[in-house]
Amino acid sequence: MAVAVEAGSASKSGRPFEVRPLHPALGAEIVGITLEEAVAEAMFRQVYEVFLEHRLILFRDVDLPPATQVAFARRFGEVQVHVMNQYHGYAEHPEIYLLTNLDADGNPNGRHPDKGTMYWHTDGSWRPTTGHATMMYSEVVPDEGGETHFADMHGAYEGLDPEWKARLSGMRAFHNLDFSRTRRHGHDPMTEKQKAEVPPVDHPVVRTHPETGRKCLFLGDHAEWIDGIEYEAGRALIEQVNALATPDHLVYRHAWQPRECMVWDNRALLHRATGYDPATQRRVMRRCTVLGDRPY
């Protein structure tokens, strides 16, 4: 579980901004600096410390044009250009994955843009070098629903009994974007070319965070089968561990407001969106995923 940082004056921590915890397990709001200040070299080092400590940071009421979003994301590392290019909403910024249910006239079209987001997952786990961080910006949010929930995978691993830890030690799971998207959308949303670009890849079920050294569970909805275990038995095990990993006390539920920017650590969290009525409600979210390293 994250070590809580007291809200209050910035001087208590020696930082030139406030850190307000969002939940006992994870997440913190950063208050008192602008995004432009946050990306400056000296300031970013301190912002990144909060990111590592809380695994999720939030800036409220910020103006974040697409170009600025990509530039901010690049402070964390190389930004992914998603293989599913039908979600590239800006020709000049292919790094942005646009989630919108609006038609050309700005009205709700009745279709959820990506049903796979509504199941616990970690961004980019279907790549050899998985997601480091994801940056999400809220342009338009529905009156009801459309939340994002986050689960602490450090806490999930630490909460396992010794038998589970021993069972999962050394185990590897294959992650497959085609599998997760097809089963959740109810049809095949990927072209053969897209599938060929991202074949299934195996990762440890228990990974070590490359910067903090803490162990965490690493599964989620992209994980399809377990190496060396019969397929159906492996599927059942994945679903069981995913359920064990997301107890209520380790979950932060974020109800979005417009103009919020959030960055979370894919190496240590699972997340999912909640449903909303895409026929009557409007939701527009912009996402950048920063690439990390190969889990070990």
195 CB-contact burial (10 Å; exposed 0-12 / middle 13-18 / buried 19+): middle
Q: What stretches of the chain adopt beta strand conformation (E)?
A: 18-21, 28-31, 56-59, 97-100, 131-140, 148-152, 172-175, 201-204, 206-208, 215-217, 223-226, 251-254, 261-265, 269-273, 284-291
Facing residues of 264 across strands?
56, 134
Is residue 162 included in any domain, yes or no? yes
Q: Mean pLDDT across the stretch 96-118? A: 92
Q: Is the pLDDT of residue 6 over 70?
A: no
Q: How far is CA 69 from CA 28, 75, 232, 241, 287, in A?
A: 19, 10, 41, 34, 9
**Number of domains, the chain:** 1
Q: How far apart are CA 203 and CA 171, in angstroms?
A: 9
Question: pLDDT tens digit string along 273-293?
Answer: 999 999 999 999 999 999 999
Indicate the residue type of 199.
P
Q: Using pLDDT thresholds of 50, 70 and 90, give the confidence band for residue 1.
A: very low
The pLDDT score that the predictor gives to residue 5 is: 37
Question: pLDDT tens digit string along 49-63?
Answer: 999 999 999 999 999
The two tokens of residue 74 are: 């690049």
Q: Using pLDDT thresholds of 50, 70 and 90, give the confidence band for residue 4.
A: very low
Which residue, among 110, 82, 109, 111, has the nearest Cα to 98 in the 3D structure?
82
Is residue 4 included in any domain, yes or no? no
Which CATH number is 111's domain given?
3.60.130.10
Chain position carrying tokens 């407001």: 257
Query: Which residue did the predictor score with more confidence, 38 or 89?
Result: 38
Backbone angles phi, psi at 37, to 5 degrees: -70, -35
Facing residues of 175 across strands?
201, 223
Is residue 262 included in any domain, yes or no? yes
Is residue 192 included in any domain, yes or no? yes
DSSP 87: G
For residues 268 and 153, the answer to whether their CB atoms sit within 8 Å is: yes
Is residue 268 included in any domain, yes or no? yes
Q: What average pLDDT is seen over the chain?
A: 92
Predicted TM-score (pTM) of the model is: 0.92
Is residue 34 included in any domain, yes or no? no
Is residue 184 included in any domain, yes or no? yes
Q: Using pLDDT thresholds of 50, 70 and 90, give the confidence band for residue 11.
A: very low
Is residue 193 included in any domain, yes or no? yes
Indicate the residue type of 103.
D
Q: Is the pLDDT of residue 18 over 60?
A: yes
**What percent of the chain is modeled with pLDDT above 70?**
96
Structural domain range at position 229: 64-291
Which residue, among 81, 74, 72, 30, has the nearest Cα to 51 in the 3D structure?
30
